[in-house]
Structure 1
Amino acid sequence: MIPNEQTIAAIATAAGVGAIGVIRLSGPEAIAITDAIFKGKNLAAQPSHTIHFGKIVSPKDDSIIDEVVVSIFKGNRSYTGEETVEISGHGSPYVLQQILNACIESGARPAMAGEFTQRAFLNGKMDLSQAEAVADLIAADSKAAHELALNQMRGGFSSELSRLREDLITFAALIELELDFAEEDVEFADRTQFFNTLERLETVIQQLIDSFQYGNVIKEGVPVAIAGKPNAGKSSLLNALFNEEKAIVSEIAGTTRDSIEDVLFINGYKFRFIDTAGLRETTDTIEAIGVERAKAKVAQAKILLYLYDENDTTVEEVLKDLKSFYREELIIILIENKVDLHDYTKPRKNIQADDAIMPYLMGAMRMSTKDAEYINLLKMMLTAQVENLPHENQAIVNNTRHLASLKSTLKHIKEIQQGMAMNLSGDLLAQDIRLALYHLGSITGQVDVDRDILGTIFGKFCIGK
């Protein structure tokens, strides 16, 4: 753990040239160090949460480095919970580095990655899950990711966990009390009431675990594989979705030999589209490798858009592919493409309505990639599939560390339930209760968290945050 007695400093704005850049200092000497290089008012004599214009000068020869505006935050009324100063200067990387050097020469030390937020956590300004949400908020690249990170940073997830932990602590205290009076053979904890509480905890924690599927696709993006026979129109669909030529389109079968990937934001959700090689038996070595890669991409996808042309595709061919790709968590949307080329004077096969295929589908549609209305309809279907993912709880889990801790908590809660059903003694129940409390508390940092874990969490932050 980094001692908070030292004052740290760092450039808090992104690298590169900008109109304004900010140097942030935090620690017991933040104002004194700034006063030493600031020509203007005496900052130590000014009230907290005030802004002052002046000049930053070199501590070596008093030469002017930049004209700046200085914001001061005294006591614990700051982001970090300790004395903080923010120096806003011109956004030249050279100028900002010179100001930072002046701060360091006057007694500050360079901050490490995430150290400002780590201090906010250590000073009780936020819990550990809220601190991690800060990093997610900085990295948010879609409306949904922004809203999720903001809700967690404001304590939406923490509040839910606190309520769960409080219920466990109440019963744990009564069990511990029973242990103190073991010789009198008395029970302070109502077993029936606690069993009901455990059932409720199990339900809520399972909902949080289930919400990870939704939270993770928001954070990382929804992987969408486009698959089908050669010349089904997969590359044309990719180009139509992005409204640009991402992939080569040709009447020659097998044009796409490798996967083509790109990110598209639809209604605030991030989708990662993957155009794959056409699925067919082939003696061409290169094309065969492309087909195997296509199957691997489908295996990693959350949504599969399976395209076919009714004019040259049978129900058996579609069914064979869907069976090979099917897994419980995969969302399959069947797309009959090239409807603009169909001869409607002839009877249609209507593969989408075939009873053998229906069990594999989450959606189906007919389309022409040349018609923008069809593309917009597909985008609406994709958005709806994401919104239908399990996330009944307002609190959404999108962090793998939190997921692992919740699963461990659930494991011990189930062991407590089994122990109660077997009428185990209070000391044996207490052990599992303590472990459940530990894993639940490790998410928010309400128990002592290993310094290596903290190092991993805050090491992912940018310097200056």
Structure 2
Amino acid sequence: MLLKDTIIALATPSGAGAIAVIRVSGVDAISIVGDFFKSIHGKNLTKQKSHTIMLGHIVEGNKTYDQVLVSLFKNPHSYTGEDVVEISCHGSQYIQQQIIQLFLRNGCRMADAGEFTLRAFLNGKLDLSQAEAVADLIASDNEASHQIAIQQMRGGFSNEIKTLRDELLNFASLIELELDFTEEDVEFANRDQFKDLLHRIQNVLRRLIDSFAVGNVIKNGIPVAIVGEPNVGKSTLLNALLNEERAIVSEIAGTTRDTIEDEISIGGLGFRFIDTAGIRETEDVVEGIGIRKTFEKIEQAQVVFYLVDGCSLFVDGNHLENLKVEIEKVKNQYPLKQLLVVINKKDMLSEVNLSTINLQLATALLLSAKTGEGVEELKNQLLQFVNTGTLRNNETIVTNTRHYDSLIKALESVEKVNFGMDDGVSSDLLSLDIREALNHFGEITGEITSDDLLGNIFANFCIGK
């Protein structure tokens, strides 16, 4: 890792805009920018205090590139912990590239993906879980994912892990001290207190591990499959939920041949709705492929809307009973999924028919995808399916698969220690399992890392962050 060189990158999205911010970080950042920055008040950039902003021009010889604002952040009081200069120029792509190329010719190199945040981590400005939260914060597109990323970036998750690790490390030190006095047969670590600590750590780890079920769907969006027979109004419902004409609507059965997906935020949570091909017996090859995809999407979904044409329920006397049988089949086939039966075309049903449905299918939700009646109630029902109690209570929620994996391994190691104490295992063997647990804690916060691990994490960042 080249930490002695000076890096540069565009910190704002590429493309034309009102302004663009170019970030420079490294030991020579101030002097390199200072060689080409001419303050309108004649100030020397290298002699200015940290956290100051100056107006001037980027100039090379007789050529003026742009009028800019230059923000100065001296080490260690900067994002990266190094000297950082941020140049706010006009948002022309030509201007952006000309300024970047100027500094590339004069001592800078292009930053790699996530290299500014990598340097912040290596310089002790962030731990690894906080650094990963930066990427999550940039990617957050709803209130819930934003709230979780902010909490993690502020160190909520890190502090919880560090507290557990410090307490466990203290006992590990006492147990390892006992190894130096094996002949005296003394115990420096109180075994009862240690057992209490292990039980407390296990409870915290189990809570964090369980939170991943909520955190993962919040981060990636909660998949909701809209399924049913052809022409029951699946595409119309998708359009009503999204409040736009996203899917083609036709009276011809089998219009939807492939899955259509889009995401919206409801109550601060991201939901990814999937409109699927109608389920029926067909000899049409293309439609048959779409139906197979429907069942694949049901497997991937967390919530399933089983949509029914309300008018069809009263065509013959057996249809309502047949529907009950079909619902039971779906429930038995997908027992772990949240299933909601939705009766569409409420606007076309008589009061008698509505009463019959309410009596026979009490848990079903009645709506009209065409008029929008009942759609808001459907959205509220969705929110009840998601356990957001931990979110509302501002508890730590795990969203990162790497953290989840390390927590599981840490729990396994702690359980080994607990079993070992019950079986009277010697201090040297207990010490090995404790060290293993400490290593898994350290992997989360970055106290234990490898170049490969850091490369994999920061490769997913955007350039300029």
TM-score by length of 2: 0.92
* Number of the residue aligned with 1:216: 216
Cα deviation per residue 1:378-429 (whole Å; 9 max; x = unaligned)?
A: 1111123224476677111111111111111111111111111111011111
**Would you say 1:14 and 2:13 are equivalent positions?**
yes
Cα deviation per residue 1:259-296 (whole Å; 9 max; x = unaligned)?
A: 22111222222111111122233344333322221111
* Number of the residue aligned with 1:436: 437
Q: Distance in 2 between matches of 1:286 and 1:381?
A: 34
Instruction: Give yes or no for contact 1:142–1:265 (8 Å, CA) kept in 2.
Output: yes
- From 40, 43, 46, give the equivalent of 1:44: 46
Deviation (angstroms), 1:48: 1.1
Q: Show the 5 A alignment for 1:128-207.
A: 128-207=128-207
**Would you say 1:321 and 2:323 are equivalent positions?**
no
Query: Closer, same or farther in 2 for the Cα pair 1:245/1:3, shift >3 Å?
Result: closer
**What is the SS of the residue equivalent to 1:225?**
strand
Bigger shift: 114-123 or 232-241? 232-241
Q: Show the 5 A alignment for 1:242-321.
A: 242-308=242-308, 309=310, 310-311=313-314, 312-313=319-320, 314=322, 315-321=324-330
Q: Distance in 2 between matches of 1:377 and 1:348?
A: 20
| Aligned residue pair count | 450
**Would you say 1:463 and 2:463 are equivalent positions?**
yes
Deviation (angstroms), 1:86: 0.9
Q: Distance in 1 between matches of 2:252 and 2:91?
A: 53
Query: Closer, same or farther in 2 for the Cα pair 1:243/1:88, shift >3 Å?
Result: closer
* Number of the residue aligned with 1:411: 412
Deviation (angstroms), 1:190: 1.5
**Would you say 1:400 and 2:401 are equivalent positions?**
yes
**What is the SS of the residue equivalent to 1:261?**
strand
Q: Distance in 1 between matches of 2:390 and 2:330?
A: 27
Q: Distance in 1 between matches of 2:45 and 2:246?
A: 57
Deviation (angstroms), 1:436: 0.6
Deviation (angstroms), 1:62: 4.3
**Would you say 1:348 and 2:350 are equivalent positions?**
no
Cα deviation per residue 1:56-75 (whole Å; 9 max; x = unaligned)?
A: 122xx442211211111112
- Amino acid corresponding to residue 414 of structure 1 in structure 2: E
**What is the SS of the residue equivalent to 1:187?**
coil
Query: Closer, same or farther in 2 for the Cα pair 1:430/1:62, shift >3 Å?
Result: farther
Deviation (angstroms), 1:225: 0.3
Instruction: Give yes or no for contact 2:260–2:275 (8 Å, CA) kept in 1.
Output: yes
Cα deviation per residue 1:106-141 (whole Å; 9 max; x = unaligned)?
A: 222221111111110011111001001111111111
Bigger shift: 234-243 or 437-446? 234-243
* Number of the residue aligned with 1:70: 70
Q: Distance in 2 between matches of 1:254 and 1:3?
A: 58
- Amino acid corresponding to residue 106 of structure 1 in structure 2: N
Bigger shift: 300-309 or 274-283? 274-283
Cα deviation per residue 1:304-329 (whole Å; 9 max; x = unaligned)?
A: 111223334421122122222x232x
Q: Distance in 1 between matches of 2:100 and 2:350?
A: 72
* Number of the residue aligned with 1:356: none
Q: Distance in 1 between matches of 2:246 and 2:72?
A: 50
- Amino acid corresponding to residue 44 of structure 2 in structure 1: N
Q: Distance in 2 between matches of 1:99 and 1:287?
A: 54
Q: Show the 5 A alignment for 1:436-455.
A: 436-447=437-448, 449-455=449-455
TM-score by length of 1: 0.92
**Structure 2 residue runs without a partner (length 5+):** none
* Number of the residue aligned with 1:359: none
Bigger shift: 248-257 or 426-435? 248-257
Instruction: Give yes or no for contact 2:390–2:397 (8 Å, CA) kept in 1.
Output: no
Query: Closer, same or farther in 2 for the Cα pair 1:182/1:388, shift >3 Å?
Result: same
* Number of the residue aligned with 1:25: 24
Q: Distance in 2 between matches of 1:368 and 1:110?
A: 55
**Would you say 1:332 and 2:339 are equivalent positions?**
yes
How many percent of aligned residue pairs carry the same amino acid? Answer: 52
Query: Closer, same or farther in 2 for the Cα pair 1:464/1:345, shift >3 Å?
Result: closer
Bigger shift: 310-319 or 149-158? 310-319
Deviation (angstroms), 1:452: 0.8
Q: Distance in 1 between matches of 2:113 and 2:90?
A: 23
**What is the SS of the residue equivalent to 1:21?**
strand
- Amino acid corresponding to residue 23 of structure 2 in structure 1: R
Instruction: Give yes or no for contact 1:240–1:369 (8 Å, CA) kept in 2.
Output: yes
Instruction: Give yes or no for contact 1:214–1:389 (8 Å, CA) kept in 2.
Output: no
Bigger shift: 243-252 or 32-41? 243-252
Q: Distance in 2 between matches of 1:281 and 1:183?
A: 79
- Amino acid corresponding to residue 102 of structure 1 in structure 2: L
* Number of the residue aligned with 1:360: none
- Amino acid corresponding to residue 193 of structure 1 in structure 2: Q
**What is the SS of the residue equivalent to 1:183?**
coil
**Structure 1 residue runs without a partner (length 5+):** 354-362
Cα deviation per residue 1:127-161 (whole Å; 9 max; x = unaligned)?
A: 00100111111111112221111111111111111
Query: Closer, same or farther in 2 for the Cα pair 1:256/1:106, shift >3 Å?
Result: closer
- Amino acid corresponding to residue 231 of structure 2 in structure 1: N
Q: Distance in 2 between matches of 1:334 and 1:413?
A: 44
Instruction: Give yes or no for contact 2:390–2:396 (8 Å, CA) kept in 1.
Output: no
* Number of the residue aligned with 2:4: 5
Q: Distance in 1 between matches of 2:68 and 2:241?
A: 47
Bigger shift: 190-199 or 282-291? 282-291
Instruction: Give yes or no for contact 1:144–1:218 (8 Å, CA) kept in 2.
Output: yes
**What is the SS of the residue equivalent to 1:184?**
coil
- Amino acid corresponding to residue 432 of structure 1 in structure 2: D
Query: Closer, same or farther in 2 for the Cα pair 1:146/1:336, shift >3 Å?
Result: same
Query: Closer, same or farther in 2 for the Cα pair 1:364/1:180, shift >3 Å?
Result: farther
